[in-house]
Structure 1
Amino acid sequence: MKTAISCWLVLCVALTVNAHAQILPPHQSSNPWYQDARQALAQKPNLQANSKAKNVILFIGDGMGVSTITAARILEGQNKGHAGEENQLSFEAFPFTGLSKTYNVNAQTPDSAGTMTAIISGVKTDAGVIGIDENVRRGNCQTVAGHELVTTLDLAELAGMATGFVTTTRVTHATPAALYAKSPERNWEDNSDLPETAIAAGCSDIAAQLIDYERRLKKHYPKAKHIDGIEVVMGGGRRHFLPSLPEFNSPDAASDIEGDRNDERHLINEWQQRYPDGAYVYDKAGFDLIEPSSAQQVLALFNESHMHYEADRHNDQAGEPSLSEMTTKALAILKQREEGFFLMVEAGRIDHAHHAGNAFNALNDTIELSNAVKQAIAHTDPAETLIVVTADHSHVFTMAGYPKRGNPILGKVVNVGEIGPAKAADGKPYTTLAYANGLGFRHHHDETDADTAYAEPAKSGRTNLTDIDTEQAGYHQEALVPLSAETHGGEDVAVYATGPGAEGVLGVNEQNLIFHVINQAAQLERRAIATMQ
């Protein structure tokens, strides 16, 4: 964003020439949301006062509300042959748990752009905007100048730490984009998404901001000594980096013309020119060849759009790694840095499965997130690594009826002491899991791609499930209110933490407090300032 960034550049240069360098711009550090969360953290008991986090791993289960965690816990247990209720997902064993209030400044039920910006910057903001505070108008580039926010990723880069993120969504999608981009519109993923007025005002699309990240940060902080760019970027979304011409298609392109860009920029080539020792990969074979001990930078874009659901991953033409495999590889690369690392891991397709009304995929992707957390625990030192697991928001996903213990979580309700399915007042059986709104009933049998739900209009009313196998991958639960897609929920979500500073998540907190927990535990701001002295 030429207009916005030039203003931010002036501000940041003014700050960095100060003898007592300040990292955060005044509009961020003095923001009431920022100040309130900082004070709230200061009032919490400090149970590990002398321990500091060298490394930070932030896991985001996009849309992973409490009901999703409970149902996934049961499903994982039942997959192991147990009743299920007694099971624990990996992160449920963490010593500290709290709740996060997810509302956006302008929305009772939030979106991922506003929530992730809060988590990663310490400032709550409006729905739909990325990396900027609430004093903007969504979609209006002219209002951005002077409202950009410094993120955890920015601080880690300034501090000389290794940095990275992995996601099962497009790397330009709202949650990962909040790490590195400043945009008044979450949907501006490539230049073809920008209106002419935004282009004329000097706005830059999210994909371009990712490729230009190191250069932009160096311009903002010219005295910082150790900025070297994001070491690991893994996910989907190739289309936003490629020109809209067939000759630039990847070998596994799903569309006749894979790329969306109409500005003639080939951002993958630009990245390779910027990092000649880096590795760009697009498939599982390339991923497997990455040698962590020698990898300088990695850009992995495994799909034209989002990556596959975990249960559908076998259908990817070129092959995709799992979330846990990406997490393990990213950790092996980032651990090479003596100064420590910051890694964000997003299980983004939990959210997409819920929007499609498909509990099977939402729960299986949640279980895979738990597997990724297991890998993080196994490959890091708990004495020096803060791990935080949370969701950006929930969904209108319910567990209901009075099913007996051990009843299949994806099945029909069978009441305690009974054998056959319970009947509702309309004489039809019903499932434990359902949605308050959305596309409603579909029976796609063993189809593992939840997105096939959108090929049919929303279905209202009840269906006779007597002869329907509701445990199949392609079963989509009934919904009360018919909508073109299921919506987010507005209730609090859980936050789990372990490692130095983890006790900061205790209690019921504003979502933006998570930034402050990480910042304090890893001393990110202090370490960043030290690089400018």
Structure 2
Amino acid sequence: MYTNLILLVSFVAQIWAAPNKQNDGMHPHLPVNPIGSLKVDPAEDTSAYWNENAQKTVQEIISRQLNENVAKNVILFLGDGMSIPTIAAARVYNGGEEIQLAFDKFPYMALSMTYSVDKQVPDSATTATAYLGGVKANYGTIGVGPEVPREDCLGMLNVSNHVLSIGYYSQLQNKRTGLVTTARVTHASPAGVYAHTAERDWEADSDVLDSFKDPTVCTDIATQLVYGETGKNLNVIFGGGRNRLLPEEIEDEEGHDGKRVDGVNLIEKWLEQADDRQYIWNRDQLLALDTSNVSSILGLFAHAHMDYNLDRDTTMDPSLAEMTKAAIEILSTGDNGYFLFVEGARIDMAHHDAEARVALDETIEFSKAVQAAVDLTDEADTLIIVTADHAHTLSYSGYASRGNDILEFGGNGIDGRVYTTINYANGPGYKMSDADGSRHDISEDDYGDDHYAFPSVAPLDSETHGGDDVAVYARGPWAHLFTGNLEQNVIPHLMSYASCVGTGYTACDAAN
């Protein structure tokens, strides 16, 4: 009995003594189990504080006036892979549990169901067809309906299978249009604005050849950007991906080879289509633009995807907020309004690598871009939607005290070893057991490294998407329509209703 008691006391002592290890000093944190917790306001310890805050919110909600103006402008922000746990964790990363991101302040919100026609958990291609084109389709396809299986070249050539985006319909109403992304401009999400393809990976003709298809028949996405009915009419194209537009024998401005094998320089071909077109490739050129005097502009700021913000050369590479600001200023010079698509693409890519710190930092950069749009636009005539295409497997759990570093420990397991607040269901952060068979001691890792791969349950080279619903935030004309639980493909139909574009029922029809 005494032996068992000694073992129990020893085990409890191990748990309480489990390392609250300080990292490199750059990210100090509170202990996992401190006495008390961090308060933003000492008054939080009173019931009156919470009652007063709640009553203030009630008054704000009941005083809202419905905005039923026609939306002259529509901006769709897409946080790629920005799951609800990602948003909650990003708030803490940004300063505290109570900190609101820019879109948290929007008055209306819905949930979006993201599954595709053939998959429980979707990818960024089929979801782009849904939230931009209004039709759910098959995994890996963009801008074509569910009639087209993946890699069905003949099916994608049949124009009756094409799904037309809200960008296309906005152009029909003489609105200016644009896209901004931190990925390649030919990547799955931005391609949803202008492309029709049975394979998301066919970004250049060499990619089509890699699939043993004929690129003269299966038109690659970059070619559709330059010559396609919607792509060729875009006024603003900002992002990465020079390599998909340049031949392999040509180096770009930073010494990287192109990927095209047809010998066609699509950047030059894009410029040749009109005398007033401009091409830029670095931050200085972007910031030097006279945005009041730009008709059409192509800005390619990286040979492939743009760098993560934490790795970004701020002297050469613009931020997402800077690109967004310039795009809005350029598009605002038109008389008939505009449609703009803005993607924070690299939230998703960081999650795939289980690099939670990077993913949360990219979410904050995305929030800054949303705030830039809020600051530049008028809620009376501009509808802003913020959503995600799909979730990820990141979880936010444990019983860490208020104010604890979101990227450190959430508590201690019954084995006396710590576990992180942020974890993934699968991915490259899987930790093998120690030599003695015990759970890996995470406290010994260099978890303060920006690119540390956070723990996962199952080992995979790349963490998967999640199938849970994602949030939709709305501000501006007809924003109150974005409530409840929506099929993802309803989103562009509501945007079209608010802005009186497309072939469906619109606010202008209702007014007549």
Same fold (TM over 0.5): yes
Q: Cα distance, 1:300 vs. partner?
A: 0.7
Partners of 2:396 and 2:241 in 1: how far apart? 33
179, 182, 189: which one aligns with 1:165: 179
Cα distance change on mapping 1:303 and 1:76 into 2, 3 Å: same
- Secondary structure in structure 1 of the residue aligned to 2:203: coil
| 1:487 has 2:503 as partner | no
Return the offset for 1:389: 0.1
Task: Sort the Cα spacing of 1:479 and 1:142 in 2 relative to 1 into closer, same or farther, 3 A.
Answer: same
Q: TM-score, normalised by structure 1?
A: 0.78
Counterpart in the other structure of 2:152? 140
2:176 counterpart letter in structure 1: A
**Structure 1 position 252, deviation (Å):** 1.0
- For 2:177, what is the secondary structure of its paired residue? strand
Deviation at 1:68, TM superposition (A): 0.2
Aligned to 2:191: 177
Q: Report what 2:55 is aligned to.
A: none
Tell me by how many angstroms 1:143 deviates.
Answer: 1.8
**Alpha-carbon shift at residue 264 of structure 1 (Å):** 1.0
Cα distance in 2, alignment partners of residues 438 and 461 from structure 1: 20
Structure-2 change in CA distance of 1:376 and 1:242 (3 Å): same
Q: What residue is the counterpart of 1:396 in the other structure?
A: 393
C-alpha distance after superposition, 1:440-496 (max 9, x if no partner): 169xxxxxxxxxxxxxxxxx9943123445343132211110001100000000000
Kindly provide the CA deviation profile for residues 192-233 of structure 1, in whole angstroms up to 9, marking residues without a partner as x.
1114864277221000000013xx35xxxxxxxxx9811100
C-alpha distance in 2 between matches for 1:122 and 1:150: 8
| Aligned partner of 1:243 among 221, 226, 247 | 247
SS of corresponding position for 2:311:
helix
Q: Deviations over 1:92-114 (max 9, x none)?
A: 01000110000000000110000
Residue in 2 that maps onto 1:375? 372
Correspondence for 1:345: 342
Identity %: 42
Q: Structure 1, residues 298-345: CA drift from partner, whole Å, max 9, x if none?
A: 10111111001111112x7x7110000000000110000010010010
Instruction: Give 3-state SS (helix, strand or coil) of 1:430's partner.
Output: strand
What is the alpha-carbon distance in structure 2 between the residues aligned to residue 241 and residue 469 of structure 1?
39
Question: Does 1:211 find its partner at 2:226?
Answer: yes
**Equivalent AA in structure 1 for residue 405 of structure 2:** P
1:61 aligns with 2:79: yes
Aligned to 1:514: 491
Q: Secondary structure at the match of 1:56?
A: strand
- 2:28 corresponds to: none
Q: Displaced runs of 4+ in structure 1, greater than 3 A?
A: 47-50, 195-198, 526-530
Counterpart Cα distance in 2 of 1:192 and 1:408: 45
- TM alignment of 1:289-300, pairs within 5 A: 289-300=288-299
1:92 — aligned with what? 104
C-alpha separation between the residues in 1 aligned to 2:232 and 2:464? 39
Deviations 1:67-92 (A, max 9, x none): 00000011112xxxxxx111100100
In 2, the alpha carbon distance for the partners of 1:328 and 1:495 equals: 22
Q: Is the 8 A contact 1:309 1:349 kept in 2?
A: yes
Q: Work out whether residues 137 and 145 of structure 2, in 8 Å CA contact, stay in contact via their aligned partners in 1.
A: yes
Tell me which residue corresponds to 1:260.
259
The aligned residue for residue 33 of structure 2 is none
Q: Is 2:498 aligned against 1:496?
A: no
User: Given the superposition, is the C-alpha separation of residues 505 and 321 from structure 1 closer, same or farther in structure 2, using an over 3 Å criterion?
Assistant: same
Report whether the alignment pairs 1:331 with 2:328: yes
2:133 to 103, 121, 136: 121
* C-alpha spacing 1:479/1:368, structure 2 compared with 1 (3 Å): same
Higher mean alpha-carbon deviation, 193-202 vs 342-351, is at 193-202
Match of 1:279 in 2: 278
SS at match of 1:466: helix
Distance 1:398 1:461, change over 3 A: farther
Q: Which residue of 2 aligns with 1:424?
A: 413
1:525 aligned counterpart, secondary structure: coil
Change (3 A) 1:212 1:200: closer
Amino acid across the alignment from 1:236: G
Confirm whether residue 386 of structure 1 aligns to residue 386 of structure 2. Answer: no
> Corresponding residue for 1:223?
none
- Note if 1:308 corresponds to 2:307: yes
How far apart, in 2, do the equivalents of 1:461 and 1:304 lie?
44
Q: Which amino acid aligns with 2:102?
A: S
Please tell me whether Structure 1 or Structure 2 has the larger radius of gyration of its CA atoms: 2
Q: Which of the numbers 65, 70, 94 marks the counterpart of 1:76? A: 94
Q: Within the alignment, does 1:131 sit opposite 2:146 as a pair?
A: no
Counterparts of 2:171 and 2:122, CA distance in 1: 29
Tell me if structure 2 keeps the 8 A contact 1:461–1:480: no
Change (3 A) 1:385 1:349: same
Deviation at 1:272, TM superposition (A): 1.2
- The residue that corresponds to 1:186 in the other structure is 200
For 1:40-59, list aligned pairs within 5 A: 48=66, 50-59=68-77
Query: Is the 8 Å Cα contact of residues 63 and 391 (structure 1) preserved in structure 2?
Result: yes
Consecutive unaligned residues in structure 1, runs of 5 or more: 1-46, 78-83, 218-226, 414-421, 443-459
Counterparts of 2:303 and 2:500 in 1: how far apart (Å)? 38
Look up the SS of the partner of 1:366 in the other structure.
helix
Matched, 1:434 2:423: yes
Counterparts of 1:471 and 1:510, CA distance in 2: 39
Unaligned runs of 5+ in 2: 1-64, 432-436
Give the partner amino acid of 2:111: L
